[in-house]
Amino acid sequence: MTGKAHQTAGTIDEDEVARFSAMASEWWDPTGKFKPLHKFNPVRLAYIKQEVCKKFGRDPKASDAFKGLRFLDIGCGGGLLSEPMARLGAEVVGADPSETNIKIATLHMRESGLKIDYRAETAEDLAAAGETFDVVLNMEVVEHVADVPLFLESTGNMVRPGGLMFVATINRTLKAYALAIVGAEYVLRWLPKGTHSYEKLVKPSEIEGPLNAAGLRIIDRSGVSYNPVTDTWARSRDMDVNYMLLSEKPDAA
Ligand X SMILES: C[S@@+](CC[C@H](N)C(=O)[O-])C[C@H]1O[C@@H](n2cnc3c(N)ncnc32)[C@H](O)[C@@H]1O
Residue with Cβ nearer ligand X (16 or 153): 16
Residue with Cβ nearer ligand X (28 or 66): 28
Q: Are 196 and 172 in contact (CB under 8 A)?
A: no
Pattern 137-166, binding to ligand X, x per CB under 6 A?
Answer: --xxx--xx---------------------
Residue with Cβ nearer ligand X (61 or 146): 146
Give the whole-angstrom CA distance, residue 41 versus residue 35.
Answer: 10
> Do strands 242-248 and 91-95 pair parallel, antiparallel, or not at all (unpaired)?
unpaired
Q: Are 123 and 95 in contact (CB under 8 A)?
A: yes
Tell me the chain's radius of gyration from C-alpha atoms.
Answer: 17
Least distance (Å) from Mg ion to the CB of residue 139? 9
Least distance (Å) from ligand X to the CB of residue 59? 26
Among 229, 176, 231, 175, CA closest to 201:
176
Contact residues toward Mg ion (CB under 5 A) are 140
Pattern 7-36, binding to ligand X, x per CB under 6 A?
Answer: ----xx---xx--x----------------
Range list of β-strands (E), the chain: 8-9, 12-13, 70-74, 91-95, 117-119, 133-139, 159-170, 217-227, 232-236, 242-248
Q: One-letter amino acid identity for 13? A: D
How many CA atoms within 13 Å lie on the side-chain side of 195? 24
Which region, judged by CB under 6 A, interacts with ligand X, from 105-113, 135-143, 204-212, 238-246?
135-143
89 in a labelled binding site: no
Residue with Cβ nearer ligand X (114 or 251): 114
Size of the site for ligand X (CB under 6 A): 23
Least distance (Å) from Mg ion to the CB of residue 228? 20
**Does 169 participate in binding ligand X (rule CB under 6 A)?**
no
Chain residues binding ligand X by CB under 6 A are 11-12, 16-17, 20, 37, 74-77, 80-81, 96-98, 101, 122-123, 139-141, 144-145
